A = this chain, B = another copy of it.
Amino acid sequence: MTYCVGLKLNRGLVMAADTRTNAGLDNIASFRKLHTWEVRGERVFIVLSAGNLAVTQAVIADLDEAMKAGGGTDGEATLTSVNSMYQAAKLVGRALKTVRKSHTDEGLSGDAFSAQFIFGGQIGKEEPRLFHIYAEGNFIEAKSDTPFFQIGEHKYGKPILDRVVGRDMRLGEAAKVVLLSFDSTLRSNLSVGMPIDLVVYNKDTLAIDRLRRIEKDDPYFSKLSATWSEQLRKAVEKIEEFDI
């Protein structure tokens, strides 16, 4: 499995993904699931992926090659040429559909090639935007009621997000909450594993300057995890015991 979270806040975006992939229980590997593209000062994109790794890698590679080729011979749209994040999300959705179709055309079941993305970024003067792109290639956008998306093994880490995330948070605070959500997931589920890739994107900078890989022995993360355990226990103590 996988765990990815994307937050869209007033001050920008916070997006993170784990790196564990597994086929069965004894075939575990580490692959990057967070990818970024940047045309400095003009546009940035961040994509988090879950699902069949062959599919997600192919989608990223197709988008990447099309962009580098400048849109191909017939000048079709690429992430570099589109004028809005909505158009960009459509490109990602279409790329996903194309890859899945290339497999199912051969008579294979579509379920095995399922994949999902959280896709965020900013183009020019448009606000930063965040999308959840489904296996079918369609998508929804984060609006003011729901400032975050999760894909993969999302349940363990949802309660903390549900309670704490607000659109007006500082980005450093939001990154901390995202890491707490990862910490809960990592403790309770074997299929999600370190390192974690994390991007903090400050609105209107149009540059990916705050990207970090958090390794297993990362001092900040270790401290966060230990402090959180301690603080949770204290929080529990603050509540009256139940007496029937």
Contact = CB atoms under 8 A, between A and B. Distances in A.
Given A156-B156, A173-B241, A212-B244, 8 more contacts: A162-B187, A163-B187, A223-B240, A224-B242, A231-B236, A231-B238, A232-B232, A235-B235
A40 interface: no
A78 B238 CA distance: 44
A224 B234 CA distance: 14
25 contacts: A155-B189, A156-B158, A156-B159, A158-B188, A159-B185, A159-B188, A160-B232, A160-B236, A162-B187, A162-B188, A163-B233, A164-B232, A164-B233, A164-B236, A172-B241, A172-B243, A175-B242, A176-B242, A180-B239, A210-B244, A220-B242, A224-B240, A227-B239, A231-B234, A231-B235
Contacts of A175: 241-242, 244
